[in-house]
C-alpha cells in the first residue's frame, strides 16, 4: 500500500515536471518558435540540442547550409521589400496566415551572455501582461517597490516585509543549489527569457516572492489600514497568480517548480510571521543588534557560497542579504535618532489619504529623488569596492565579470554595495526628506 502511494506520488511529480506542459501553455498563449515548433508538434525529430549545462537550455540550430524554410524565404522577401524587421507574418503548412511578431528573449543570460533563439509572439497582450508579471520578481521591482512603499506609505510595514522577503529568497536560492534540478528543456519549451537560465529551477523563487510579498503585505496592512478585506485578498491573489503563470509562460519553470515555490513560501510565512515582531524589536532596540545583524547576514552568505559552483544565484543571494542587513541597520539608527517613528495604538487604524494631484506629485518627487540617491550610492560604491577588494586579495580587476566570479570579490562587493543601498534607502533618504520638508 505504502509502495503504491509512493509510486503514485513519484509519477505525479514526473508528470508535473514534464516540459511538454510548459510548451502547451506557451502555445495556448501564442508563443511558438519560428520554424521548429510545427515539427515538434507533428512528431518530426528535431536537430536541436539542449544546453548541456542546464539539462536542456537554449539550443543550437543545425541544418545543411543554404537550406531555407518556407517561412524564412517569405520573411527574407518581406525584409528585402523594406518591411519592419521585428514584425512579420507567420504562415502554417496549409498556407493560412497568422499575424505574429518575431522577437528575441527579453534579456541575455547574465552568466553566459547567450541571447537565445528568436520566437513568434501571436498575442501581444499576454506577452506584455506576463512580462509585467515576471518583472514583479526581478531586481528592478525590488529596488523600486520597497523604497516607494517606505517613503510614501508605511515604513513599519516595509521594513517587516523586507525581513520576510530576505528569508524567503535566501531559503529559496539555497534550496535550488541543494536540489540542482535543471530548467525545463528547450525544445520543446521556448525560452522567452534568458537572464536566469543558468540557475537551477526547483523551487521557483519568483513564485516564492510572488506569494510571500502580497500575502505578507495583506497580513501586515489589514487592520492597520482601513480598506475592504475582499479588495486586499483579490489584489494579493491576482499578484501571486500573475507571477506564477508568468514563469511558465517565460519557459523558466515547470508546473512542479511553481507549486513547490508557492507551498514553500506559505510554509516560510507561517513560520516567520509570529516572529516578525520579535525580530523587528530586536533590530531596532537591542544594543548589540548591529553586530548581530552583520554577523548573521555575513554568515548566511558564507554558507550559501559553499553549496555549489558560482552562478548568478550566488550574487543574488549576497545582494539580498546585503540589502536586508542595510535596512535592518537603518531601522536601528532611525530608532535611536527618532526618525520615522511608528504611529501609536491610538492612531490606528490608519486611513488612506485622499487622492489628489498634489499628493501624486509629492510621492513622485520623493520617489525620483530617492531613486537617484540610491543609484548614485550603488554606482559610487561599486566603483570603489570592486577594485579595492581585487587589490586586497590579489585578483586581476581588468575583467570585472571574471573577477566577480571569485568568492573573495563577489561576497564583500555585494554586501558592501547593497548594504549601503539598503542603509541609505531607510535612513539617509528619509533623513534628507525630513530636513527639506518632503516628509
Q: CA angle, corner 215, sides to 371 and 299, nearest 5? A: 65
d(CA 366, CA 148): 8
Q: Which residues pair with 313 in a beta bridge?
A: none
Q: How would you write the pLDDT of the chain (439 residues) with one tens digit per residue?
A: 566 667 777 788 777 888 888 888 888 888 887 764 444 444 444 333 334 334 344 333 333 334 344 444 444 443 444 433 444 444 444 444 445 666 666 666 555 566 667 778 888 898 889 889 988 888 888 888 999 999 999 899 999 999 999 999 999 988 888 888 888 887 788 888 777 777 778 899 999 999 999 999 999 999 888 889 999 999 999 999 999 999 988 888 889 999 999 999 999 999 888 889 999 999 999 999 999 999 998 888 777 766 666 566 677 788 889 999 999 999 999 999 988 888 877 778 888 888 889 999 999 999 999 999 999 999 999 888 888 888 888 887 776 667 777 777 778 888 899 999 999 999 999 999 998 888 7
d(CA 33, CA 126): 16
Q: Which residues pair with 32 in a beta bridge?
A: 120
d(CA 436, CA 439): 8
User: Cβ contacts of residue 84 below 8 Å, gap of 6+?
Assistant: none
- The C-alpha cell at 287 is 544594543
pLDDT at 81: 42
pLDDT at 211: 93
Catalytic residue annotation = 206, 253
Domain assignment of residue 2, yes or no: no
pLDDT at 39: 46
Domain assignment of residue 73, yes or no: no
CA atoms within 13 A on the CB side of 354: 2
d(CA 237, CA 217): 12
pLDDT at 32: 81
- The C-alpha cell at 428 is 539617509
d(CA 321, CA 304): 11
Domain assignment of residue 118, yes or no: no
- The C-alpha cell at 320 is 539580498
Domain assignment of residue 109, yes or no: no
d(CA 367, CA 326): 19
Domain assignment of residue 164, yes or no: yes
d(CA 215, CA 211): 6
pTM of the model: 0.78
- The C-alpha cell at 16 is 508535473
| Residue 112, Ramachandran bin (φ over 0: left; ψ between -120 and 50: alpha; else beta) | alpha
d(CA 27, CA 90): 14
User: Which of 350, 321, 287, 417 has the alpha carbon at shortest distance from 156?
Assistant: 350
Domain assignment of residue 100, yes or no: no
Domain assignment of residue 363, yes or no: yes
pLDDT at 292: 92
d(CA 363, CA 439): 10
CB of 137 within 8 A of CB of 262? no
d(CA 214, CA 220): 10
Task: Give the total number of structural domains in the chain.
Answer: 1
Q: Which domain holds residue 328?
A: 131-183+190-436
Please give the backbone phi and psi of residue 119, each rounded to the nearest 5 degrees, phi first. Answer: -145, 170
Domain assignment of residue 258, yes or no: yes
Three-state secondary structure readout of the chain: CHHHHHHHHHHHHHHHHCHHHHHHHHHHCCEEECCCHHHHHCCCCCCCECCHHHCCCCCECCCCCCCCCHHHHHHHHHHHCCCCCCEEEEECCCCCEEEEEEECCCCCCCCCCCCCCCEEECCHHHHHHHHHHHHCCCHHHHHHHHHHHHHHCCHHHHHHHHHHHHHHHHHHHHHHHHHCCCCCCCCCCCCCCCCCCCCCCCCCHHHHHHHHHHHHHHHHHECCECCCHHHHHHHHHHHHHHHHHHHHHCCCCCHHHHHHHHHHHHHHHHHHHHHHHHHHHHHHHCCCHHHHHHHHHHHHHHHHHCCCCCCHHHHHHHHHHHHHHHHHHHHHHHHHHCCCCCCCHHHCCECCCCCCHHHHHHHHHHHHHHHHHHHHHHHHHHHHHHHHHHHHHCCCCCCHHHHCCCHHHHHHHHHHHHHHHHHHHHHHHHHHHHHHCCC
User: Which of 184, 236, 163, 248 has the alpha carbon at shortest distance from 422?
Assistant: 163
pLDDT at 47: 36
Rounded to 10°, the helix 205-221/229-249 angle is: 170
Amino acid at each position: 500500500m505504502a509502495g503504491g502511494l509512493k509510486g503514485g506520488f513519484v509519477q505525479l511529480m514526473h508528470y508535473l515536471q514534464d516540459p511538454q506542459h510548459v510548451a502547451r501553455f506557451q502555445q495556448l498563449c501564442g508563443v511558438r518558435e519560428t520554424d521548429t515548433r510545427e515539427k515538434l508538434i507533428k512528431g518530426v525529430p528535431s536537430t536541436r540540442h539542449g544546453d548541456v549545462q542546464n539539462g536542456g537550455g537554449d539550443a543550437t540550430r543545425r541544418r545543411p547550409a543554404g537550406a531555407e524554410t518556407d517561412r524564412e524565404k517569405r520573411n527574407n522577401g518581406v525584409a528585402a521589400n523594406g518591411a519592419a524587421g521585428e514584425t512579420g507574418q507567420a504562415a502554417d503548412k496549409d498556407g493560412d496566415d497568422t499575424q505574429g511578431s518575431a522577437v528575441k528573449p527579453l534579456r541575455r543570460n547574465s552568466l553566459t551572455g547567450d541571447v537565445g533563439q528568436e520566437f513568434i509572439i501571436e498575442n501581444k497582450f499576454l506577452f506584455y501582461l506576463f512580462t509585467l508579471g515576471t518583472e514583479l520578481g526581478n531586481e528592478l521591482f525590488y529596488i523600486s517597490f520597497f523604497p516607494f512603499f517606505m517613503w510614501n506609505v508605511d515604513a513599519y510595514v516595509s521594513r517587516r516585509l523586507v525581513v520576510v522577503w530576505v528569508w524567503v529568497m535566501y531559503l529559496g536560492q539555497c534550496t535550488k543549489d541543494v536540489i540542482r534540478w535543471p530548467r525545463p528543456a528547450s525544445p520543446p519549451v521556448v525560452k522567452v527569457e534568458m537572464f536566469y537560465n543558468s540557475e537551477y529551477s526547483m523551487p521557483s523563487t519568483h513564485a516564492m516572492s510572488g506569494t510571500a510579498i502580497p500575502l505578507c503585505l495583506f497580513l501586515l496592512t489589514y487592520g492597520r489600514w482601513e480598506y475592504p478585506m475582499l479588495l486586499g485578498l483579490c489584489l494579493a491573489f491576482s499578484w501571486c497568480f500573475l507571477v506564477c503563470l508568468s514563469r511558465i509562460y517565460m519557459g523558466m519553470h515547470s508546473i512542479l517548480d511553481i507549486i513547490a515555490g508557492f507551498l514553500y513560501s506559505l510554509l516560510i510565512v507561517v513560520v516567520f510571521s509570529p516572529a516578525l515582531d520579535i525580530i523587528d524589536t530586536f533590530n531596532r532596540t537591542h544594543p548589540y543588534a548591529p553586530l548581530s545583524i552583520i554577523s548573521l547576514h555575513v554568515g548566511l552568505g558564507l554558507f550559501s557560497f559553499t553549496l555549489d559552483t558560482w552562478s548568478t544565484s550566488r550574487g543574488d543571494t549576497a545582494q539580498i542579504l546585503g540589502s536586508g542587513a542595510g535596512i535592518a541597520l537603518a531601522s536601528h539608527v532611525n530608532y535611536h535618532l527618532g526618525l520615522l517613528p511608528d504611529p501609536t495604538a491610538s492612531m490606528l487604524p490608519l486611513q488612506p489619504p485622499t487622492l489628489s494631484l498634489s499628493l501624486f506629485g509629492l510621492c513622485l518627487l520623493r520617489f525620483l529623488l530617492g531613486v537617484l540617491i540610491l543609484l548614485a550610492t550603488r554606482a559610487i560604491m561599486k566603483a570603489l569596492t570592486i577594485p579595492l577588494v581585487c587589490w586586497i586579495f590579489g585578483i586581476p580587476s581588468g575583467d570585472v565579470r571574471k573577477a566577480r566570479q571569485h568568492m573573495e570579490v563577489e561576497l564583500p562587493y555585494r554586501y558592501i554595495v547593497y548594504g549601503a543601498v539598503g542603509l541609505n534607502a531607510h535612513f539617509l533618504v528619509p533623513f534628507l526628506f525630513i530636513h527639506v520638508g518632503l516628509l
